[in-house]
Amino acid sequence: MTGGIRSGKTAFAMSLLAHRFGDHWLYWATGSALDAEMEERIALHRKERPSGVVTLEASLREGITSGDLGRGGTRDGWPVLLDSLGFCVLETLAEPDMTVWMDRLSDLFSGRTGPVVVVSEEVGWGGVSMDASARLFADRLGLWNQRLAREAQAVYAVMAGCPLRIR
């Protein structure tokens, strides 16, 4: 599930899971509040989640090692919504080899018995940034998006609240 900021991708992802599984799924929130504005965004996302959904607020590293998500873990068979892949990439920007974390996340998902929906920001529709760290983020997130899309059964783009199934 990819799209721009405030495109409606998370709402669409939640509606897919709610339609099929009711409120029996896990919402893995990877964002962390670095300032007051981000705290407000996180608070808004918390309010938008269905009340019965279990939430894991954890970074990429914490989520992978939590024991809840992996094969045989306490929530192995549960559907999972990971929101967002962009925060996972931010967490690994200082790593010289990002493929280690891509592999760990991919292994975690492929080893699960329940479905996984990943929400990610689309970075390929704008110009090339003049800032080196912004280019690094866009390059890496683009690669993560491509890899997960290759491994996914379905891929959606959401624009202005309208989902488009790509594959």
Reported as a single tens digit per residue, the pLDDT across 12-37 is 999 999 999 999 999 999 988 889 99
pLDDT at 71 exceeding the cut of 80: no
Give 146's pLDDT tier (boundaries 50, 70, 90).
Answer: very high
Say yes or no to pLDDT of 70 above 80: no
pLDDT at residue 124 above 90?
Answer: no
Instruction: Give SS3 for 105.
Output: helix
Residue 165: both structure tokens together:
């199934």
Q: Which of 149, 150, 104 is nearest to 2 (CA)?
A: 149
Q: Which domains does the chain have, with CATH numbers?
A: 2-165 (3.40.50.300)
What is the SS3 assignment for 163? strand
Q: How far apart are CA 32 and CA 22, in angstroms?
A: 27
72-115: per-residue pLDDT in tens?
777 888 999 999 999 999 999 998 888 999 999 999 888 788 89
Interval 41-70 mean pLDDT:
87
pTM given for the model = 0.91
Cα dist. 82→63, 101, 109, 133 in Å? 10, 15, 10, 24
Mean pLDDT of the chain: 91
